[in-house]
Amino acid sequence: MKNLKVIAFDADDTLFINETYFAETEQKFCGLMEDYLSHQSISRELFKMEIDNLKLYGYGIKGYILSMIEAAMRISNNTLPIEIIDKILQYGKELLEKPIVLLAGVEETLEALHGKYKLVVATKGDLLDQRRKLHNSGLGHYFHHIEVMSDKQEVDYTDLIRRLEIKPSEFFMIGNSLKSDILPVLAIGGHAVHIPFHTTWAHEKIDHEIIHENFMTYEKMTDVLKQLP
């Protein structure tokens, strides 16, 4: 920890609210399609479609909109009225226009660390949407670098660390997803802190406990300040 040079932050549900909006949109989608299936079955079909489409669309709202349309077509056996498709597109645009709500302690933490370490954003999703959210958050001036990845695997973090010209042991990742923000960073020799968010997408969940000398879990962002030298 004494040799840390770069502190990286995930964006969605680490810096600002994101999954809550997706959950709200999914509930509206289920309500829209409830003449065909139960809400639980609709959610299951939508999730399967999202996962199937990741390799084509990647992560982000635009891919989610397309997945909603495809799931609706499948659920309705391709008999979906055009008015329903129009409504789904409306839900997607509303999702893109959601306000940016910072999570507790985020700006306080960034202000305290700014100038002491090189701060970066390491997130995944749609490039245009993530840059829009970061711009609207008002946090951009704290960061030396913004990295929007197509995915967050070990190779993606290794590439980022190489571009930052540091060693893995000099890299410190903060995020809400154990699968995307924590495990890959630990695997390549970095440090990682998990700050849970109350809502987690099913694809980001893991089924085992993490025990690692470079890993910590905190309840709130400002707790990180107690750990850093």
CA distances from 77 to 36, 45, 70, 185 (A): 10, 13, 10, 43
> Is there a single domain that holds both residue 76 and residue 178?
no
1 domain residue, yes or no = no
Tell me: the pLDDT tens digits for 80-95? 999 999 999 999 999 9
Contacts of 134 (CB under 8 A, 6+ apart): 11, 121, 140, 143, 146
Mean pLDDT, rounded, for 190-204:
79
> Is there a single domain that holds both residue 52 and residue 149?
no
Q: Which domain holds residue 183?
A: 6-16+101-227
Tell me what pLDDT residue 2 has. Answer: 77
Number of domains in the chain: 2
> Is there a single domain that holds both residue 10 and residue 28?
no
219 domain residue, yes or no = yes
At residue 229 the predicted structure's pLDDT band, cuts being 50, 70 and 90, is confident
SS3 of residue 99 by DSSP: coil
> Is there a single domain that holds both residue 182 and residue 146?
yes
> Is there a single domain that holds both residue 66 and residue 171?
no
> Is there a single domain that holds both residue 120 and residue 132?
yes
Enter the tokens of residue 105.
């302690």
Mean pLDDT, rounded, for 217-228:
91
